[in-house]
Structure 1
Amino acid sequence: MSKQGKNKKKIAKIFGFIGLFLAVVVLVFGGMAFYSYNNSLNYKRGDGKEIDFSIEEGDTISSIGKELEKYKLINSKFFFNFYAKNNNLDKVKVGKYQLNSNMTMAEILKILNGSPNSKKISITFLPGGTIKNAKNVLVKAGFSSEEVDSALAKDYSGKFKTLFSGKPKNVDNEGYFWGETHNFEKGVTVQEIVERFFADFEKKIEEKQLVKKYASHNLSLYQGITLASIVQKESLGNLEDMKKIAGVFYNRLKANMTLGSDVTYQYIADKNKLDRDVNLESPYNLRIKKGLTPTPIATPGVNALEAVANPEKHDYLFFLSGDDDITYFAKTDAQHQQNIKNHCQKKCQII
């Protein structure tokens, strides 16, 4: 055989070895990838725990995979994304789900692509909310209007003696639906739900020693909650602003002035389906009536309750929320009118 022929045979042999090596590499890595993929498909955390999981508007299959990996419900967000997209399971739906750590990736994706399967219901009441808001939340959760109305109107003063101390018997439970989110097992009654929120509120009152602190300002607990509800609705939620606003109201009460609050007549007008009128004849219209409203006008949050318990001491008698969402305070009506002119050309036109 010629030298050239020997070289060609040698080169062919080298390429044969390279090809074989590459084939082995491909098989090895392919096998490892298949093993990892198969392992991910069958992965289960295995402790049998129920986990509440939410998908919100804007969440992507990648972000969901990352979150599931964080909870250790899957062991690879990469394979989760790959499996979802290749099996047309990446059209997950917004909602609350209850997942189990014994579920496989495929089982999780099947649930996330269907209807939320939670065995629990989530109830959220917000600070500043009213009885009307609470009813809407509960009806939306699947309870009948009749059951909701009955539970919301019930007298709970026997069970929550501190919370309802000083509350007149002939008024509704406005102001008591504590702002919080709780999950309940399906089958729970509306009464059990509202009692959970009342328990939260009573615990907060006791923790913050509000009965004692309101008494130092010559207010009963019920009056303190009522004033805090007005502060809640008049503010943007900032604690320091709320303390200043509470200080304004205390100064006006001490000066035998009306509180001058717009949110109070707006509340009763809306509740009774009347036109909002600054001259509305009602004990809730604190533009023209002195003292506090007969009842709270909303549920105060913890900042509003704190503000009424620990108001800022100052000489301000007026305040307004400007068009820039900054609260402006004034000591005289002239200063207040200037604040309106400078900072409140839109908001102050709202009746």
Structure 2
Amino acid sequence: MFSEQKKRPFFKRKKGIVLLSVLAVIIIAALSGFLYVKSALGPVDQKSKQTINIHIPNGTSVREIAGILKENGLISNDTIFTYYAKYKNASGFKAGYFHLKQTMDAEQLIQKLTSGGTDYAFQLVIPEGKQLSDIATIIANQTNFSAKEVEAKLDDPTFIKKLMKKYPKTVTSQVDGKQVKHPLEGYLFPATYPFYREDESLETIIDTMIKQTDQYVKTYEKDMKKRNMSIHDVLTMASLIEMEATEKTDRSKISSVFYNRLKKDMPLQTDPTVLYALGEHKSRVYYKDLKVKSPYNTYINKGLPPGPIANAGESSWKAALHPEKTDFVYFLAKKNGEVVFTKTLNEHNKAKAKYITGSN
């Protein structure tokens, strides 16, 4: 009797431990399942900058759409996405082209897919003030081409010759100068370009941008003749203006400073050319940087650099062709973006002390 009484609590404790263990396993399994589902519904890559273009044909089911998303790396689990869409009572999925990102979660993807697609396969948005390497990355992020492939095509001598024949007034022999870093730098006009084929060739993509530049060349052809400037020189000057301009400045005044310096046989001394020579994007240029040996360094070389240092928008084209008549030969940007123009080095140094160094 004594031994049976001793055994009962032991068996009860053992049974309790087993139940707790089973319960713990169930809780862990449920938690793991919840976390897995949550992860499957979250973004595939929160750091990705690439746009993935997909096409949804008419009559595609939710399960088939989930398969397309999975195939293109936009979701990690198509089954969970399908059940989630049904759980949310998502309906009205549209047909067409969709331009999606791996930073989108399931909810955002559903919103996009039910709000309507586009008739273009992909779209390139080329902002003003972008260099050839930046544009190569933009193209790579919207297509299956790598940035290296794009840059190689942009520098390909055979392709350049084709463009020279097709656009003789725009792509001239000046792009092939010995000191020119990239022949088509500054020739890819900033604009939004829709493309209607998923497998559009790289040559067609680049040609479309050159064609846009060619249209502006025709528009401003008379102005270039009046100034006795080649398109290469106009694009070079426009690129300097573009890279120096702020939202609060008059580009035609910046243009006047550059032209006044050229007339006085003064070096242009514009920092963006130094950064281009260095091949870097920096918020500040140091004195040691000004000594970089390069034909693009306008601190040690007089005149215009060998070619454009970035693309320029129409407002910078206009400023390059129609500079304001001033006596200014210096300018500097205040911290708030406003630009101060001065006529002498003494005035420039005073403005620098007042607005930049704060020593006055």
Shorter-chain TM-score: which interval? 0.5 to 0.7
- Contact 2:130-2:310 within 8 A present in 1 as well: yes
Relative distance call for 1:111 and 1:270 in structure 2 (3 A) is: closer
SS in 2 for 1:320: strand
Determine which of 157, 160, 165 is the counterpart of 2:164.
157
Residue 132 of structure 2: aligned partner: 131
Determine which of 233, 239, 248 is the counterpart of 1:223.
233
4+ long deviations beyond 6 Å: 113-118, 272-276
What is the distance in 1 between the residues matched to 2:266 and 2:134? 31
For 1:184, the aligned partner's letter is F
CA offsets, 1:215-235, max 9 Å, x none? 433422211111111111011
Determine which of 336, 339, 346 is the counterpart of 2:348.
336
CA offsets, 1:206-256, max 9 Å, x none? 1133xx323433422211111111111011156x61100110111000000
How far the C-alpha of 1:167 sits from its partner, in A, is 2.1
How far the C-alpha of 1:119 sits from its partner, in A, is 5.8
Relative distance call for 1:272 and 1:88 in structure 2 (3 A) is: closer
1:121 maps to 2:122: yes
Relative distance call for 1:305 and 1:237 in structure 2 (3 A) is: farther
- Contact 1:318-1:333 within 8 A present in 2 as well: yes
How many residues end up aligned between the 2 structures?
248
- Contact 1:143-1:190 within 8 A present in 2 as well: no
Relative distance call for 1:214 and 1:192 in structure 2 (3 A) is: same
How far the C-alpha of 1:292 sits from its partner, in A, is 0.7
For 1:224, the aligned partner's letter is V
Q: What runs of 5+ residues in structure 2 fail to find an aligned partner?
A: 1-52, 54-84, 100-108
- Pairing of 1:1-351 with structure 2 (within 5 A): 87-89=88-90, 97=98, 112=113, 120-145=121-146, 147-153=149-155, 154-155=159-160, 156-170=163-177, 171=180, 172-185=183-196, 186-209=198-221, 212-237=222-247, 241-270=250-279, 277-345=289-357
Give the alignment's Cα RMSD to 1 decimal. 3.4
Q: What runs of 5+ residues in structure 1 fail to find an aligned partner?
A: 1-51, 53-83, 99-107, 347-351
- Contact 2:175-2:184 within 8 A present in 1 as well: no
Tell which deviates more after alignment, 148-157 or 266-275. Answer: 266-275
How far the C-alpha of 1:187 sits from its partner, in A, is 1.2
How far the C-alpha of 1:111 sits from its partner, in A, is 5.8
For 1:305, the aligned partner's letter is W
Relative distance call for 1:329 and 1:281 in structure 2 (3 A) is: same
SS in 1 for 2:174: coil
For 2:330, the aligned partner's letter is F
Tell which deviates more after alignment, 139-148 or 175-184. Answer: 139-148
- Contact 1:323-1:345 within 8 A present in 2 as well: no
Relative distance call for 1:220 and 1:114 in structure 2 (3 A) is: closer
For 1:341, the aligned partner's letter is A
